């Protein structure tokens, strides 16, 4: 990869990492801890939504982020010609 293309590849990689970290932080810290009192009136699975995010939701969001990151990076790899195939 040329230097300019390499910089664009890593910029795209860092952008998706920052977006993923922001989504993870909002779902785990925001919904599970900071906004839990506001979410206590919403019930899901027999418990309030804030507790659900603290116990289950943030894990499910994290797993979705892993698969989304892998899919997006495969697309970026193909776009920049560094894919494995």
Domain boundaries, the chain: 15-80
Least Cα distance to 77 among 22, 19, 8 occurs for: 8
The secondary element (H helix, E strand) that includes residue 47 is: strand 47-48
pLDDT tens, residue by residue, 9-56? 999 999 999 999 999 988 888 877 888 888 788 887 788 887 887 788
pLDDT tens, residue by residue, 69-82? 999 999 999 998 88
- What are residue 57's DSSP bridge partners? none
The per-residue pLDDT for 35 is 80
Taking a C-beta distance cutoff of 8 angstroms, is the pair 19, 44 a contact? no
- The Cα 50–Cα 41 span in angstroms is 9
Taking a C-beta distance cutoff of 8 angstroms, is the pair 70, 57 a contact? no
């Amino acid at each position: 990869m040329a230097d300019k293309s390499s910089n664009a590849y890593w910029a795209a990689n860092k952008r998706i990492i920052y977006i993923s970290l922001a989504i993870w932080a909002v779902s785990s810290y925001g919904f599970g801890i900071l906004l839990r009192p506001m979410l206590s009136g919403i019930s899901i699975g027999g418990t309030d939504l804030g507790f659900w995010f603290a116990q289950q939701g943030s894990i499910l969001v994290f797993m979705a982020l892993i698969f989304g990151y892998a899919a997006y990076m495969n697309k970026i790899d193909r776009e920049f010609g560094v894919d494995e195939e």
